[in-house]
Amino acid sequence: MKSHTEYLVMETPERRAMVNITPRVAEAVKKSGIREGLVLVNAMHITASVFINDDESGLHHDYDVWLERLAPHAPTSQYRHNDTGEDNADAHLKRQVMGREVVVAITGGRLDFGPWEQIFYGEFDGRRKKRVLVKVLGD
The residues binding its own copies (CB under 8 A) are 1, 3, 5, 36-38, 40, 42-46, 51-54, 56, 58-59, 61-63, 66, 70-71, 79-84, 89, 92-93, 95-105, 107, 112-117, 130-131, 133, 135, 137-139
- What is the closest distance, in whole angstroms, from the C-beta atom of residue 139 to its own copies in the complex? 5
- Cα of first residue to Cα of last residue in the chain, in angstroms, is 5
Q: What are phi and psi of 33, to 5 degrees?
A: 75, 5
- What is the closest distance, in whole angstroms, from the C-beta atom of residue 87 to its own copies in the complex? 13
Measured between alpha carbons, how far is residue 13 from residues 36, 44, 92, 115, 134 in Å? 37, 18, 19, 30, 23
Nearer to its own copies by Cβ, of 27 and 107: the residue is: 107
Nearer to its own copies by Cβ, of 15 and 97: the residue is: 97
Q: CA-to-CA distance for 136 and 3, rounded, in angstroms?
A: 5
E strand or H helix at 28: helix 22-32
- What is the closest distance, in whole angstroms, from the C-beta atom of residue 42 to its own copies in the complex? 8
Could you count the other beta carbons within 10 Å of the beta carbon of residue 83? 10
